[in-house]
Structure 1
Amino acid sequence: MRVCPLEHPLARHRQLTLEQLAAQPIILTGRDSSVREHVDALFDQTRLTMNAGMEANYMSTVLALVRQGLGISVLPESAADSLEGLKRINIDHPGVNREIGLIRRSGMGLSPAAQQCFELLNTELPSRPPSRSLTLPVCPGVAR
Structure 2
Amino acid sequence: MELRQLIYFRTVAQMQHVTRASEHLMVAQSAISRQIQLLEQELGAPLFFREGKRIRLSPLGTRFLPHAERILRNIEQAKAETQSFRNPHAGTIHLGFPHSVGVYYVPRLIAAFQQEFPEVSFDLVQARVSALLSQLRDGDLELAIVTPWDTSVLAERYPGRFLTEEPLFIVLPEQHPLCQRKEIHLSELRDEPFVVFKEGYTLRKMVWDACIEAGFVPRIAFEAEETDTIRAFVQAGLGISVLPPSETAGALGIREVAISNPPLQRAIGMAWWQDSALSAAAKEFVSFASKSVPVFNKRVE
TM-score, structure 2 as length reference:
0.38
Matched, 1:2 2:170: yes
Moved over 6 A (4+): none
State the 1:49 CA deviation.
2.4
The aligned residue for residue 49 of structure 1 is 217
The residue matched to 1:117 in structure 2 has which SS? helix
The aligned residue for residue 91 of structure 1 is 259
Matched, 1:13 2:181: yes
Whole-Å Cα distance in 2 between the matches of residues 53 and 66 of structure 1? 11
Contact 2:194 2:220 in 1 (8 A): yes
The residue matched to 1:42 in structure 2 has which SS? helix
The residue matched to 2:267 in structure 1 has which SS? coil
Percentage of identical aligned residues: 25
Rate the CA distance shift 1:12–1:82 in 2: closer, same or farther, 3 A.
closer
Higher relative contact order (CA 8 A, sep 6+): 1
Question: Which among 237, 245, 249 is matched to residue 69 of structure 1?
Answer: 237
Contact 1:60 1:82 in 2 (8 A): no
The residue matched to 2:222 in structure 1 has which SS? strand
The residue matched to 2:196 in structure 1 has which SS? strand
Rate the CA distance shift 1:13–1:96 in 2: closer, same or farther, 3 A.
same
TM-score, structure 1 as length reference:
0.75
Contact 2:196 2:230 in 1 (8 A): yes
Matched, 1:100 2:268: yes
Structure 1 gap segments, 5+ residues each: 134-144
Q: Which has the higher helix share?
A: 2
Q: How many correspondences in the alignment?
A: 129
Whole-Å Cα distance in 2 between the matches of residues 107 and 52 of structure 1? 41
Rate the CA distance shift 1:69–1:44 in 2: closer, same or farther, 3 A.
same
The aligned residue for residue 194 of structure 2 is 26
Rate the CA distance shift 1:19–1:130 in 2: closer, same or farther, 3 A.
farther
State the 1:130 CA deviation.
6.9
Computing the radius of gyration from Cα coordinates, the structure with the larger value is: 2
